[in-house]
Structure 1
Amino acid sequence: MDLTPLAPRAGQPLQPANLTSAATGRRRLIGVSNSNLVYFMNFSVSTAKDACNLIDAGAQQILVKMPATLHVAGGEGLVTLIIHETKGCREENPVEMTSMFRTNFNTDFYVFCSMNESVCEAYYDKETLIPALKGLYRRSMLTVEDLSDRCLVDGAPQENGAACCKECREEYVLEGCECHDPEDGQLHCFPADATVRVLGRTNAVRMDELQYGDLVRSVDRSTGSVSYKPVYLFGHRESAGSRRYVHIATAAGRTLAATSGHFVPVCVEGCTAEQLTLGAAVMQNRRAGNIRVGDVVLTADPSPAFETVESVELLAAKGAFNPYVRGADLIVDGVVASPHSDWILDSVAPAWMVPYLPYIYEALLAPVYGLYCIVGPATAEWLAHGLRLAESGASPAGGHAGYWAVLAGMAAPLSLTALLLGRTTAAALKKRV
């Protein structure tokens, strides 16, 4: 069964498990307490009926392809469900359907379907989630506690049903529609499991596998064509720790994960295939945290095309990686995204300037790219990360001082080399004379 079109509803993890039977009005006879059940996802009754048909045909195990946001890390989203018990499948007009099954990694799941509401809710027993797997969930949704503890004043809900915060508590900062820990806000990037295409590599390359000098498949801003650009800098390369990422899913099933301050090109005019081919489509850089359902983003998998945003969710993911290419936008998991994010001007730039900040930042990084072209990938990596110059200048908190420190730090070894080379050359010329 293919469940990839389904997605967890933002905000749904907030509700406690309802173990009251719609048919009897009493607690369902299952050997697990309410506190042990953790919400997983919901889906339509028609999907449950498809599973019932397989069970009626004699199937005792069902292979399921899960939505991308629910993948187990390192997996392909395929999970085997071993059916232990079902009720209501064979009834002609059931009031409800229930089932209990176990996955191939030995986690127990319970599904409760209400015929009146035409929806099924799936929960898993957290006591059966083995310790080795607890850290393997690729992404997990924010809980109600995260929102209620951080949000001071609630705003109108988002179109996808997620809670929206209008004002944060004192120790948090508002980014888009969510309240964040200021320390988390210092990293603006992509998660470790986000992928790009690299010239000469058959399979997609994860962010935590990407290297300086890799030629990454990108969309050239000047021509709109797909080209390959070298990675000349990483603003961040952090494998450890989980962070909150905005997950932007398109109607075609592609999902881009980026921090809320990262820039993503959005089409605002001429969003048709014809206009795209003519180069007449009007694109505007927008922070990922400000993208909404219905916005039109550019994809390039394999060729450039426009796709409508179907859902926007705030989920957790591991790692933080921010590769830079020159004169182009990255293609991350099939969706076009700017290499640029919040930096030194965001706190002072007026609203009208925000869409142009990626171009300003690219101009500011021109000297860094020039150094990369002179010294090559290996030396550029040593200068940026061996001396931790990239990390010191990549944070918005570093301000202008951080930017100049990076330039000075990266240029100093090169200047010293040039000075020594110049003196050696001068001495050699004097000897000849």
Structure 2
Amino acid sequence: MNSVVLAVLAMVTLSMMRVSVVFALVVSAVIGGLTAGMPIEAIIEAFNEGLGGGASVALAYATLGAFAVALSRTGIAQRLSARVVEHLGHSRHKTGELALVKWVMLTSLVLAGFAAETVIPVHIAFIPILVPPLLHVMNRLQLDRRLTARAITFAITVTYMALPIGFGAIFLNDILIGNVNQAGAAQGLAVSREMAPQAMAIPALGMVLGLAVAAFSYRRKRVYQELPVAGEHLRSNTTPLGARQLGLIVLALLLALGVQLWSGSMIFGGLVGFAVISISGVIRWDEQDDVFTQGMRLMALVGFIMIAAAGFAAVMKATGEIPSLVSSSAELIGDNRGMAALIMLLVGLLITVGIGSSFSTVPIIASIYVPLGLGFGFSPLAIIALVGTAAALGDAGSPASDSTLGPTAGLNADGQHDHIWDTVVPTFLHFNLPLIAAGWLAAMLF
């Protein structure tokens, strides 16, 4: 068996057995390396070299977690949540009214995800700020958090897949189109930026279908315990905020966004936002260390998984068996274009699920899939759809993807949302399967 396939299967199996995802990634990297014939020293070296690729992302999420907890200390989000809970608890509501609150909240989170990928490009940074305070409302509504996770993952994934704005401009224009052109230059293939949204429209509709199915799958109520949310044990501001404090809080939000856009670093954006809130007086000087530490703990799981995933990806690349995986699959296809499209998507799924990032996977997939697609007679639009969909498959359903780690970090703030069984597996079923079908349909129609 190909070492990449074996490593990914081992990682997924261990994760579904509730083994720590970090441990599963490390063990699977060793399994894949040994199967490929790499000496243990080479595996360790490749893994260690890859760790640096995830360190900056991990630190960025840690500082954003600290900023989120500091922002929660202002009491703004808690007051809003408490008012909604009080309103729901002290008056009788018709079923339709409760359903309206549920759908308004889910729609708001989807819109926040759209904004976080486009006009306010903070990616998953909004999740630890908005979601934990809303857990009490979700508990009162008995809202199945698996549906909330689907809504957030949908918003932060489908946006960059289909819209060339914010992160979508980076993914579609710079990464997808850029790498397709680079890989197809020798064969005379040249695609334009305008083709990317057109090629990814059908796969994006697959995501829409998956969200609709998820809304039906998780329509029933689910009971959660009313437990403390991470950071609530720290004293939050219960007194009315002064005009100066409100001004500094607004300034913190604007500076966090501005610094991130100016520097391109979420780390400095989060640190500046934390610093401005600290001087507002909401956080006492002797409590700042506790607040910062609590924020880092909130996003610690995300950080460590991202670091381990970078090491896993480095070992998979070092095996040199990704091209052989694609070529051996092509030999089994023959001249069947429909089967070729399906196999390409499935192989892309295996590659991206292990790496966990569509942005990082496109260069690997494009260098192999573009010549292969041209050989099977696929059109330029079909090739763009195949490469883009294959990359999005892993981002939407990998245990090591920030598109699944982000929702878990927010929804598990009270310890009642499992990363694998409440986020990853439902996401795979509701989004990856429709994505495969929609990507195949796009390749056949274009």
TM-score normalised by L of structure 2: 0.24
The structure whose Rg is larger is 1
Q: Compare relative contact order (CA 8 Å, sep 6+) and give the higher one, 1 or 2.
A: 2
- The answer to which structure has the higher strand fraction is 1
TM-score of the two chains, using structure 1 as the length reference: 0.25
Of Structure 1 and Structure 2, the greater helix share is in: 2
